[in-house]
Amino acid sequence: MPDPSEPIFRVLPRQVDQTLAAALREWMPGASWNAVRKLLKARRVMLSGNVCVDPARRLKLHDVVKVLAHPAAPPPREEDVRIRYLDEHVVVVEKPAGMTTTRHKEERDWPARRKQLQPTLDELLPAIIARKEGRHRRKRQGIPPPVRPVHRLDRETSGLLVFARSVKAERNLGEQFRRHTTHRRYLAVALGHVKAQTIQTRLVRDRGDGRRGSTDEPGVGKPAVTHVRPLEDLGDYTLVECRLETGRTHQIRIHLAEQGHPLCGEKVYNHPRRGKPPEDHSGAPRIALHAAELGFQHPVTGEPMRFEMALPDDLAAFVNRLRRAAHRNKGKA
């Protein structure tokens, strides 16, 4: 049952393009503009699974707004971004959960002050790189050159990312990702007992309810292939390895959900292709997905590059808690 102390609101057609602050005032009769702004500033409002602190954010159809009883965890900082490899052409980084990879299209023209509410990884990286290379940000040196994104991770997904630092590297890496010659291995925790399988579907932007999903219509959508292997039985959950043969938006989240095994912490894709969605009682701190391995050819030297990243502390603690609970339940059986 929904927690009455954390109300959930769904955006109606007439509320599309309305600001989040205006909608909250409508949903919460008697709340002043000042009270709504304080609620947002305190990180107590989630928009479609992500904390939102921007009162001017425009709503879309099917957006879901949740008001939290307590403030969400603070956003990651520059210090939480770790550079694993750096040269004049590429930079490989460990992205913390809670940080967006790049600015969404509709946000790119926002004024700098508004962007600073929740800076993106590609906006923070130039200054981080400058400090690592021993340069200081002085006016006479100008703004550090931007990095060039060639792939992305969802805001709540942690893990390895590569950015290009030159036009040549951007073109070459972009081609590697388009041809699916890169190596990407993810770790995830999913509901239920997941079996080894290869999931192959065609994904479309709108499956009929405004969200991405698979289609059975021939010739429609883009092919998506995910190789899934269970690593550990965690009672009602499974730690799985997912290797991407293609790299479509939200591919792992969609594929496992459609098989009846949504990821723990999933707020958007939690419906199987048939039947009722399972209930998630795992208490996941966020969506349980981590980009653990990344491999590619260096865009200039051609050298094979391979990086690994262990589960971050929040997911490692989550898996350990599920593991202990599974052992206790086995002992009672």
DSSP string across 222-280 = EEEEEEEEEEEE-SSEEEEEEEESS--TTHHHHHHHHTT-PBTT-SS----SSSPPPP-
Q: At a CB cut-off of 8 Å and minimum separation 6, what does 220 contact?
A: 202, 204
Taking phi over 0 as left and psi of -120 to 50 as alpha, with beta for the rest, 245 belongs to alpha
Question: CA 270 from chain center: how many Å?
Answer: 15
Strands 237-244 and 90-95: unpaired
Q: How many H-runs (helices) and E-runs (strands) does the chain carry?
A: 7, 15
CA distance 253 to 258: 9
Determine whether 17 is an active site residue. Answer: no
Question: CA 303 from chain center: how many Å?
Answer: 29
3-state secondary structure 188-200: EEEECCCCCEEEE
238, 243, 245, 248: CA torsion to nearest 10: 70
Q: How many CA atoms lie within 13 A of 197 on its CB side?
A: 11
Q: What angle do CA 18, 24, 30 make, to 5 degrees?
A: 130
Taking phi over 0 as left and psi of -120 to 50 as alpha, with beta for the rest, 101 belongs to alpha
54, 63, 122, 154: which one is catalytic? 154
Catalytic residues: 154
